[in-house]
A and B are shown apart, each in its own frame.
Chain A
Amino acid sequence: MLWVECPNCGSRPFEEYRYGNVFPTTPDSITDPDARNVDFAWMQDNIEGVTLERWFHEAGCRRWFTAKRDTTSDRFLPLDD
């Protein structure tokens, strides 16, 4: 079972958390405002590796926090790593 470190509650089972997606990042190479809107509305970074995400401790302190996670292993990494 995966255990995830909550900044408020400490180490808790993975199932207590809810996924809040990655920070949306539209690349600077897209300059046309319409194209930037399309990218913001639809496109996903979908990174295979380390991502910076928001998570919600739903069954715990019910607070949002930022986490670093490797999507290939689901391991959470220290934020300052």
Chain B
Amino acid sequence: MNEFVETLLDLPWQTGEPKSSYDVVIIGAGGHGLATAYYLATRHGITNVCVLDSSFIGSGNSGRNTTIIRSNYGIPESVRFYQHSLEMYQTLEAETGCWIMHNQKGQIWLAHSVSTARTEQTRALMNEACGARTDYIGPDEIKRLCPQIDLSGGGRYPVYGASYHHEGATARHDRVVWAYAQGALRAGVHVYQHTPVTGLLRDGDRVTGVQTTRGNISAGTVISAVGGSVSTVAGWAGVRLPIRTHALQAFVTNAYAQEFAPIVSSNDLVFYVSQTPRGQMLIGAEYDRFASYRQATSFSYLQACSKKSITMFPFLGKLRILRSWTGICDVSTDFSPIIGHTGVDGFMISTGWGTWGFKGIPAGGSQLAQLVATGSAPLIEPFGLDRFANEVAMADPSSAGTR
């Protein structure tokens, strides 16, 4: 992006109190909430929108992820959705005028056994067919792309091959949130931080607004873009969700002076490694097995995850853990997002993002805005809450986080 010149971030916050009524009120000013507001205002001319957050913008899972953007999923509906999102990320800097530090790196998904290699070959073929550029590559090519790898896997996890996702990328998570916040605020959307929503206003079965610590706000449509605590919010509307909240931990090491080019994930060991723009090695693995709302890290996780990553990348053993963090993920029972109508008039949700909400921000926001404005959004149609009652689960545990 050499032609790109960054302009200073400008967030024109509203002063004073929220209005008593809006067309759309969005609960949660993270990536998904702000992106929905941004696309409602810029694509569909709906600017009478208010976004509320109990803390500051991007303070939830948008600030606690591992910033990976990819589309190599396990079912065609997901691949198409995330590929659209990945392509929107590629042009987001040009569209918003904000530098999000988008960096296309390629993602390698390692296979350590014959059967996993077959899975990765299938994935590559299926992804190609759905428009996500993915090839199956052998150990020589893996070594060329990532010289730091120990192809013998410490003797226990030999590398048979990998699927290589060409367009895998990373972007700075905070900057994505700021880009959407700036775009939304400039278009006239109201964003109120430190304004917790404490309940929903209801008229019979209909949701008509929200109760906040700064008074009641009525709304034509209330959208929950809440992360981990979504079941509580949906409960106020009488909606039961197939969501369980789990903690997902990740950490960075001190800076590694050399370049570590791609994003590397391992199917059998279950972890993933990439390098941040500051040179730190960012390492993550699966979510904690028990349900929890506690945003806490644990030594047992750091220990297990370090051991796995050092198995494949011995140089990591010489680095030190600098910082770790935990987000609470709204994991759906079939591991796919739940987005759209809830069956309750005036109440819509964007949830179930589990361990892959960050990469879905542009497509999730634009499609939900389209659904609100026009009543139809083809890419998210398969991901409605009604799929469970219709017995069409979108089973796709296709991430290191959900193994």
Chain A residues at the B interface, C-beta cutoff of 8 Å: 1, 14-15, 18-19, 21-22, 27, 35, 38-39, 41-48, 51, 71-74
Residue contact A44 to B243, C-beta cutoff 8 Å: yes
What residues on A are CB-neighbors of B232 within 8 Å? Answer: 48
**CB closest residue in chain A, given B391:** A38
What residues on B are CB-neighbors of A71 within 8 Å? Answer: 245, 291-294
**CB closest residue in chain B, given A74:** B294
The CA of A42 and the CA of B241, in the complex, are separated in Å by: 8
Indicate whether B11 reaches chain A with its CB closer than 8 angstroms: no
Top 10 A-B residue pairs of the complex, sorted by shortest distance between their CB atoms:
A19-B290, A46-B231, A42-B242, A43-B240, A42-B388, A44-B244, A15-B300, A72-B293, A74-B294, A71-B293
Q: Given known contacts A15-B300, A18-B289, A19-B291, is B244 in contact with A46 (CB within 8 Å)?
A: yes
What residues on A are CB-neighbors of B333 within 8 Å? Answer: 42, 44
**CB closest residue in chain B, given A34:** B389
Indicate whether B152 reaches chain A with its CB closer than 8 angstroms: no
What total of A-B pairs shows CB separation below 8 Å?
Answer: 55
Residue contact A74 to B243, C-beta cutoff 8 Å: no
**CB closest residue in chain A, given B229:** A48
The CA of A41 and the CA of B229, in the complex, are separated in Å by: 21
Interface flags, B197-218, vs A, CB<8A=1, else 0 = 0000000000000000000000
Contact partner of A48 among B240, B293, B388, B389, CB < 8 A?
Answer: B293
**Distance to closest chain A CB from B353 (angstroms):** 15
**Distance to closest chain A CB from B189 (angstroms):** 28
**Distance to closest chain B CB from A23 (angstroms):** 13
Indicate whether B299 reaches chain A with its CB closer than 8 angstroms: yes
What residues on B are CB-neighbors of A73 within 8 Å? Answer: 294
Residue contact B389 to A38, C-beta cutoff 8 Å: yes
What residues on A are CB-neighbors of B245 within 8 Å? Answer: 46, 48, 71
**Distance to closest chain A CB from B364 (angstroms):** 21
Residue contact A19 to B289, C-beta cutoff 8 Å: yes
Residue contact B290 to A43, C-beta cutoff 8 Å: no
**CB closest residue in chain A, given B228:** A48
Indicate whether B344 reaches chain A with its CB closer than 8 angstroms: no
Indicate whether B296 reaches chain A with its CB closer than 8 angstroms: yes
The CA of A26 and the CA of B175, in the complex, are separated in Å by: 42
Q: Given known contacts A44-B231, A46-B231, A46-B245, is B292 in contact with A39 (CB within 8 Å)?
A: no
Interface CB pairs A-B, < 8 A, 23: A15-B300, A35-B389, A38-B388, A38-B389, A39-B240, A41-B388, A43-B240, A44-B231, A44-B242, A45-B231, A46-B241, A46-B243, A46-B244, A48-B231, A51-B291, A71-B245, A71-B292, A71-B294, A72-B293, A72-B294, A74-B292, A74-B294, A74-B296
